[in-house]
Structure 1
């Protein structure tokens, strides 16, 4: 499902939702265990899993950016800075597994926004596939497909 994007007081919120047939604890581990995190977002690592701790982003040039964790409630909420933006994961228990919600706060819509949105969309699809024991050889093709969809989606917002 494509993300919803809504205007808020200071920018925009993109919200992605995925239904998972896995426990809250298992889902949480895919967001916070570096071995699992590496499988769906190899550039991102947990550096200090606590409020005030940090996520670490490998810039692929020998440097790392620290992204502050701004909210942490184990098995429920992980929010961290994403440069000028923020990313928030929420896990909501349900009778048959849980719902995983990702919210990205976007200050300004730019030409790069559809790339980020397609990336997050794909990350969530990869998490679900890995949790379900499926292979993920389809990343490049899927990213391109979703990028094209998010270009249309962002253009429909009338922000440019």
Structure 2
């Protein structure tokens, strides 16, 4: 079970007790925000995309109110932003849809943090199940996720500056 893998991962870091499990679903940004009693933007959603190989994928961790910008994604990663299907998600991340997280993933899953997260002191990523989360500072999230780098591939999370 994926939550057990993530708990074991955090146990090795001395943080297993910080993993929260809920009696209700936290499978979507809205449900997670409700379960945690926080604004949806503070939910750190992990979105899984095809990479350039069958055994690899790109994981983008972004704020709950951010949407992936296809143009920015293609410019940064050199591939079209095509999300994995349900079967591919489980095979390439080890987590089911609704519980995909940036922790305890197979080596072929490369994790990137979107800058939309950096406006918050702490955020709440899932922990491998559709009813779990952990509260982390952005630098902790980056470290524990073994992120490759911070990226700017999302839109919709900041006010557009007026052109004048």
**Is the TM-score greater than 0.5?**
no
Q: Tell me: higher relative CO, structure 1 or 2? Use CA pairs within 8 A at least 6 residues apart.
A: 2
TM-score, structure 2 as length reference: 0.28
TM-score, structure 1 as length reference: 0.29
**Which structure has the highest strand share of the two?**
1
